[in-house]
Structure 1
Amino acid sequence: MDSDIQDKLIKAGKIAAQIRREGAVKLSKPDTSFLEVMDYCERKIIKLGGNIAWAQMAVNEIAAHYCPAEEDKSFSKEGDVIKIDIGVHIDGYIADNAMTIEVSSSDKHKDMIKAAQNALKAALKIAKPGTKLWELGEAQYSEAEALGFTTIKNLSGHTLGRYKIHSGISIPSFNNKDRTELKEDWHIAIEPFVTDGQGLIKEKGIATIFMMENEKGARSPYARKILDEIKPLNSMPFTTRWLTRKFGKGPTALGLRELQQSRIIKAYPPLVEVAGGIVTQCEHSVIVKDKPIVYTRHENDEW
């Protein structure tokens, strides 16, 4: 790997890890505004010299793809299990990391949180050239099962590319029999989702996260303004409140609807555990080496 690319990944990872930790501390306190924390995370990414890839979170049975809209009044509550997922990029080179906290002094879900951490640790140890994807999946599943839980089968980690969150290969969290081998210098995100539910997710709810899929023209002025706003993102995710704050709620809704109908953008609704099970998540980004480089690890991380 070019040393300049590795330096950019490591810089992005350091920022992402710090913001993840800071956001988690804020969310762990009851009566904390989700919107205010996500706004804080985005501002701090820029302040530290990074570019926002995303700042997202998910609560309880929601596994992923929740981002508060401008009018969202949701607050953390006692007993909530909250995932915070932070992505940062430097010149398109992405660091992706996540962790789970419980808004409680009872630690009711500490074993499920620990299961996700253990699953990630087990996979990171073998994130080396030649390791097969099924082996990464088996390592994660075994750790979750050991504590009485299961992994979510239709939600996986992924290879990372320049300006590409998912660059073509999925990293399973169970033994899916995939014999594809890791290659040296791949950078990948490993992210076990652990649950006491069925182990599957489905889309449910209103999408506030979108990505550009096709570069083509739009008809209405509302849609064209949104396109002008999102093109510089190079197909990275964006969220509705970035647009509503600039263009207003009505014009944004009209523009997004046209862009979806034209298949210029794709919506990513919240992903919910099908049986309503609680979900925990733990994630790091790693450069595949004989000695793997985990470039989103914070000094206080135990995983």
Structure 2
Amino acid sequence: MSTVGKPSDDPQNGLNHTDDVQEENEEVEDDGAPDSASDTKKKKKKKKPKKKKIEQTDPPRIPVSKFYPDGNYPEGEIQEYKNDNTWRTTSEEKRYDEKMAMEDPEVTYQSIRRGAEVHRLVRKHARKTIKPGMSLLEIAESIEEGTRALVEENGLEAGIGFPTGLNLNNCAAHYSPNAGDTTILQSGDVLKVDFGVHVKGRILDSAFTLIWEPTYENLLRAVKEATDAGIREAGIDVRLGDVGAAIQETMESYEVEVNGTTHRVKSIENLSGHTINLYQIHAGKSVLLVKNDDQTKMEEGEYFAIETFGSTGRGRVVESGECSHYAKIIDAPHVPLRLTSAKSLLKSINKNFGTLPFCRRYLDRVGETKYLLALNHLVAQGVVQDYPPLCDQRGAMTAQFEHTILLRPTVKEVVSRGNDY
């Protein structure tokens, strides 16, 4: 994400959904009355009308639940654990643990698989339709409209996991267009698309990079393979520093030639993958993208976002530009808010987003107006965290790929894997 689940473009796996209903025959019982032509009444066969196939629309707008009425969604790519953990695959004890986990409403593998199926469908359309000349606002709204429809957005029960990141060129993360943004995608741009889906607080986090000219193909290849290397290395009892080392070794084996100058691809040293908890996108553990001495171990049952960023620049990002991303802090202090508008805004944030990240466009959408002063007050009081864009030096190009993995008791599941990446 080795036994592989059905690819996401398989008709049985969500990209060409159908709901076939076999014809059944219904017999009419003999009432015992003699027939004028025979003492035995002939049994008649009546065909049930064939149920119409359900097919996904383009753009996708039919909820994925319509194609999986039993609530069982496609499993992601399965990878067996390495080294000292290979025994888990056949262990009866761990199989029992996994069965119990599947039945535990607090674990809810099916919730995150449902989010993954939404992500695959929305990104398939996005990868096909995003083109130079489109505005970033148009791209963001298309992705978000599809996500809301397919996951059947319903308050904190299901919806968007975090703001759609549309990060251009040297900007690596945390840029989402605010209302009025006039940025137009250009043919020479390197665009990172990072969006999430949540079902009952289980967040599916996955990202990819798009280019329209061949110059940075090796940059994308380096980052994609580094992500896959991190996923292969990840596992129960694996130390986070060792995952970072595998990512860096793969990433920095690549070079990119730009206008006759060769650049070694660098892992961005101060960005990282992370654990994901219920309604919490960054849950405490970080997977750095470079070799380090972190001895913290991955644990059974954890969800990780394995994301890697590569750069042709210095390989380090700083905060730069207008902020769009925010989130209420999980253990935010109870502090007196002197602004009435801040109290009102916090109430709206609690109702609509809880601790899920949001952006200014999402506040606009729920009817908030003239909220910047109140929002900044919540940030200053330590109730809300702001996440400004993170950028490498000007002139550098950055790329990103990301998957969510589940460390199940028996195997590792790359739940967001598709046939595209």
TM-score, normalised on structure 1? 0.92
Q: 1:275 to 1:198 in 2, by over 3 A?
A: farther
Q: How does 1:180-259 map to 2 (within 5 A)?
A: 180-213=296-329, 214=332, 216=334, 218-232=337-351, 233-245=353-365, 246-248=367-369, 251-259=370-378
Instruction: Give, in whole Å, the separation in 2 of the partners of 1:24 and 1:228.
Output: 37
Residue 132 of structure 2: SS of its match in structure 1? coil
The equivalent of 1:110 in structure 2 is 217
Instruction: Give, in whole Å, the separation in 1 of the partners of 2:239 and 2:385.
Output: 31
Count of residues paired in the alignment: 296
Match for residue 226 of structure 2 among 116, 119, 133:
119
Structure 1 residues 2-11 or 168-177, which shifts more? 2-11
Match for residue 292 of structure 2 among 172, 176, 179:
176
Matched, 1:155 2:271: yes
**Greater Rg by CA:** 2
Residue 115 of structure 1: SS of its match in structure 2? helix
Residue 282 of structure 1: SS of its match in structure 2? strand
Moved over 6 A (4+): none
The equivalent of 1:131 in structure 2 is 238
Match for residue 38 of structure 1 among 140, 145, 163:
140
Deviation, 1:187, is 0.8
Matched, 1:14 2:117: yes
Deviation, 1:19, is 2.3
Structure 1 residues 126-135 or 29-38, which shifts more? 126-135
Instruction: Give, in whole Å, the separation in 1 of the partners of 2:301 and 2:239.
Output: 15
Instruction: Give, in whole Å, the separation in 2 of the partners of 1:36 and 1:224.
Output: 32
- Structure 2: give runs of 5+ residues left out of the alignment: 1-97, 152-157, 256-264
Contact 1:16 1:45 in 2 (8 A): yes
Matched, 1:73 2:176: no
The CA deviation string for residues 204-240 of structure 1, in whole angstroms up to 9 with x for no partner, is 1111111112264534343233212210322111111
Q: 1:43 to 1:133 in 2, by over 3 A?
A: same
TM-score, normalised on structure 2? 0.67
What is the one-letter code of the residue matched to 1:89?
Answer: H
Contact 2:242 2:292 in 1 (8 A): no
Instruction: Give, in whole Å, the separation in 2 of the partners of 1:37 and 1:266.
Output: 25
What is the one-letter code of the residue matched to 2:368?
Answer: F
The equivalent of 1:263 in structure 2 is 382
What is the one-letter code of the residue matched to 1:294?
Answer: V
Instruction: Give, in whole Å, the separation in 2 of the partners of 1:174 and 1:152.
Output: 8
Instruction: Give, in whole Å, the separation in 2 of the partners of 1:224 and 1:181.
Output: 40
Contact 2:333 2:382 in 1 (8 A): no
Instruction: Give, in whole Å, the separation in 1 of the partners of 2:192 and 2:206.
Output: 11
Matched, 1:51 2:171: no
RMSD: 1.7
Deviation, 1:107, is 1.0
The equivalent of 2:46 in structure 1 is none
Instruction: Give, in whole Å, the separation in 1 of the partners of 2:315 and 2:394.
Output: 8
Matched, 1:294 2:414: yes
The equivalent of 2:78 in structure 1 is none
Deviation, 1:18, is 2.6
Contact 1:202 1:271 in 2 (8 A): yes
Matched, 1:86 2:86: no
Instruction: Give, in whole Å, the separation in 2 of the partners of 1:171 and 1:20.
Output: 25
Deviation, 1:12, is 1.4
Structure with the bigger RCO (C-alpha within 8 Å, sep 6+) is: 1
Structure 1 residues 289-298 or 136-145, which shifts more? 289-298
Q: 1:23 to 1:228 in 2, by over 3 A?
A: farther
Deviation, 1:276, is 4.4
Structure 1 residues 152-161 or 234-243, which shifts more? 234-243
Residue 194 of structure 1: SS of its match in structure 2? strand
Contact 1:144 1:151 in 2 (8 A): yes
Contact 2:227 2:308 in 1 (8 A): yes
Deviation, 1:176, is 0.7
**Identity level (%):** 28
Structure 1 residues 239-248 or 151-160, which shifts more? 239-248
What is the one-letter code of the residue matched to 1:152?
Answer: I
Instruction: Give, in whole Å, the separation in 1 of the partners of 2:248 and 2:379.
Output: 36
Residue 214 of structure 2: SS of its match in structure 1? coil
Contact 1:63 1:280 in 2 (8 A): yes
Structure 1 residues 205-214 or 2-11, which shifts more? 2-11
Contact 1:153 1:172 in 2 (8 A): yes
What is the one-letter code of the residue matched to 1:168?
Answer: G
Contact 2:135 2:183 in 1 (8 A): yes
Deviation, 1:93, is 0.8
What is the one-letter code of the residue matched to 1:155?
Answer: L
Matched, 1:165 2:286: no
Residue 165 of structure 2: SS of its match in structure 1? strand
The equivalent of 1:143 in structure 2 is 250
Contact 1:56 1:67 in 2 (8 A): yes
What is the one-letter code of the residue matched to 1:247?
Answer: E
Q: Which structure shows the higher helix fraction?
A: 1
